[in-house]
Amino acid sequence: MRITMSTIVFLIFILMLSILVAKVTNLIATDVQYTHAISEHQKLSTIDQKKYNIGDSSEHLMWFLQISDIHISIFKDPSRISEFKEFCEITVNAINPPVVLASGDLTDAKTQDAMGSRQFLAEWKHYKKVLDESKIVNKTVWLDVRGNHDNFNILTIKSPENYFLNYSIQGQKHTRSYMHEISVGSEKFSFIAIDACLEPGPRRPFNFVGQLTEEEIKKLNHFAKKSRSHNNDYIIWFGHYPTSCILSQYEETVRDVIGKYNEGMVYLCGHYHTLGGISPQMYTLQHMGFLELELADWKDNRMYRLAAIDHGHFSFIDIKHGEWPVILITNPKHALYTMPLKENSQSVIKSTHIRILVFSTVPITSVVAQINDETWIKCVHIKGPLYVAEWDTSSYQTGIHYIRVKAVDLNNNEKMTTQPFALDGSRLSFGVLPRILLMSDATTIFGVFFGVILFINVGILCTFRICHKLCEMKKMRRIHTGVRVINCSIRKLWILSTIDRMFYPLILYPIYLTFGPWAIGEVIENHIGIIFAWGMFIGKSYLPGSFTYAYGFFQLFSFHVPLIILLAHRVDKRFQAIEKPPRRAPRYLQLFWRNLPFALLISMQMIMIYFFWLAYGTLATVLCPLRTWSVFLALILWHQAHVMPDGCLRSAAFVWSASGQLSMTE
């Protein structure tokens, strides 16, 4: 019977794992030509893509800059401000872009202890002062948009604390999403900013995910249609949140909006901060055919992005502040970033020149290029940053090839860059982690993690409880494997599941967290809110749950699971002591080591409660079943594990006692 049940469980596990792997694989697939069902509209638009004669002309060329997650702070790292000023004065002067995108988190909005969050007017004044003193509006078009930090502790878009309205460049004209159009040469470009900030904007940490209302989705569609009606050639979408972090209250998602307009080349964002250095190049090609490119932050990494559209092809490079010269190869384009639905590959195949943009703070003295291991070719300066060299594409018709470019400026600063290219459609693969982070749905991932940890907390104890009942009815025998550690773990959890005063609180607490309120307090300063796993109520406003699931997962994983393990170990020790009573009472040192793990667990939870108090105040901390009340629950259960009558273990003795019964005292 045990073998049959184990086999069935194993097969079910393999089936579920296979389904999960298949779904994830389909989710992150980026070869849109073969794996995605392209609409008829898109099919027609790819056929009609504009073909260019790519030669040595400086026409059909536009470049721009992006900076993200500046996090100007009055408490941390003053060099963020001083180097940001260098960017506005030196970098912008050297590159001379018609447009600069500032994609959110312009200010830090965190208190000195980094736990609390609110808007600080001084930070916004620093931001505005840098832009004013650098005379940025006289040099370029500065397109800024809000991020979640710019929206901490803001009740409505018109709140006095929403300093973006008065201290940013675009906030004085646009309260949320907007479109800006420019013309460069004979071509027209639309830059559409997507403001997905929550309204109201809670204090951290429940302000991680953005949201677009039905009104905002319709506004974005209106901008794209307006761009098309103005015969604009290209749309560059940008915002703070990656699309995986933007909820939609409408049947259309932000990816649907961006992808359905063939003029839309790319979506540029920030927010993830390279995930702490784990994913420094967070790029992917979305199923709808556009690139999504997360930019590493200015806050810690001092990164910015140079991007260009050259003869219908989008290219970019992310650069560390202060590094010169800056090189961007626009033809042939990087093989990883080709967009078959947006770009005409025939333009590159038939091109006659390699095209390179080179910038520095001083004149460039030398630019040379090399393909594969061939001879270095001297590049000719055409106009501005554009350098070209003739090439014969017939030599590179199949497979992946590599182009290297080396540039030297008047100060003898030397820079070399290498990138792969392909003329036959050969493709490279984006990293798995960036694809998951940018192509998934953060809310779904957080919800799945919460559901899994909830199942672990509730399902395992319930399963052992059911098995115990079946053993009592003699319909099955206790589970036994060939691995001692597994047998020991099963025994401990099994015994714990038979003790009513332990079992019911341990399973009802996670279930409560699924439905009941986690905390009641000032989610926004002077405004009471109620936090649930599935959403938040702030006044008359409702914000659907998203990051709350991740917060709940962390609570169950870091506190409740260890609590179950410690309680299971303690009741098992009680059980063993009854079967084989110790010869002497435990000494003080033994008692210390016995209770030390539990004391550490409680201490860690108290630290989390302290952080929660810093974030949301006293009321939310007192009325907080998620954090504060869980400590009292744990203390009561730990006390019960030591003082409960021996009779509470009688049921477990039927299965686990060597003699089938215990000598117990009531």
Q: How many CB atoms lie within 10 A of CB 279?
A: 20
Q: Domain span at residue 547?
A: 463-656
Identify each DSSP E strand in 74-129 by its residue range.
99-103
Could you tell me the mean pLDDT of each successive run of 10 residues in the chain, 666 residues long?
A: 44 48 50 42 50 92 97 95 97 97 95 91 97 96 96 94 95 94 94 95 91 93 94 95 90 91 92 90 93 96 97 96 96 94 92 96 96 95 96 93 96 96 91 92 90 92 89 79 82 89 94 94 92 91 90 94 94 82 72 88 95 92 94 94 86 71 47
483 and 540 belong to one structural domain: yes
The pLDDT of residue 484 is 79
492 and 358 belong to one structural domain: no
70 and 189 belong to one structural domain: yes
The pLDDT of residue 409 is 95
Question: Would 451 be classed as within a structural domain?
Answer: no
533 and 394 belong to one structural domain: no
228 and 371 belong to one structural domain: yes
426 and 475 belong to one structural domain: no
Q: How far is CA 456 from CA 84, 317, 497, 498, 617, in A?
A: 47, 44, 13, 17, 32
338 and 467 belong to one structural domain: no
Widest distance between CA atoms in the chain = 96
Q: Of the candidates 369, 404, 439, which is a domain's last residue? A: 439
Question: Would 476 be classed as within a structural domain?
Answer: yes
Question: Would 455 be classed as within a structural domain?
Answer: no
154 and 53 belong to one structural domain: yes
* 66 in Cβ contact with 140 (< 8 Å): no
Question: Would 17 be classed as within a structural domain?
Answer: no
The DSSP bridge partners found for residue 269 are 294
What are the DSSP calls for 346-412, one per residue?
HHHHT--EEEEEEE-SS-EEEEEEEETTS--EEPEEEETTEEEEE--GGGG-SSEEEEEEEEEETT-
The pLDDT of residue 661 is 52
Question: Would 4 be classed as within a structural domain?
Answer: no
Question: Would 94 be classed as within a structural domain?
Answer: yes
CA dist 76 and 71 (Å) reads 9
116: left (phi over 0), alpha (psi -120 to 50) or beta: beta
152 and 52 belong to one structural domain: yes
Nearest to 62 by CA among 177, 179, 140: 140
Number of domains in the chain: 2
Question: Would 24 be classed as within a structural domain?
Answer: no
Indicate the SS3 state at residue 479: coil
Cα 619–Cα 625–Cα 630 angle in degrees, nearest 5: 120
The pLDDT of residue 664 is 47
425 and 360 belong to one structural domain: yes
Question: Would 479 be classed as within a structural domain?
Answer: yes
The CATH number of whichever domain residue 125 belongs to comes to 3.60.21.10
Nearest to 507 by CA among 467, 458, 552: 458
Nearest to 335 by CA among 433, 418, 238, 236: 418
234 and 291 belong to one structural domain: yes
Structure tokens, 564: 């179950």
200 and 340 belong to one structural domain: yes
Structure tokens, 68: 């993200």
* 64 in Cβ contact with 99 (< 8 Å): yes
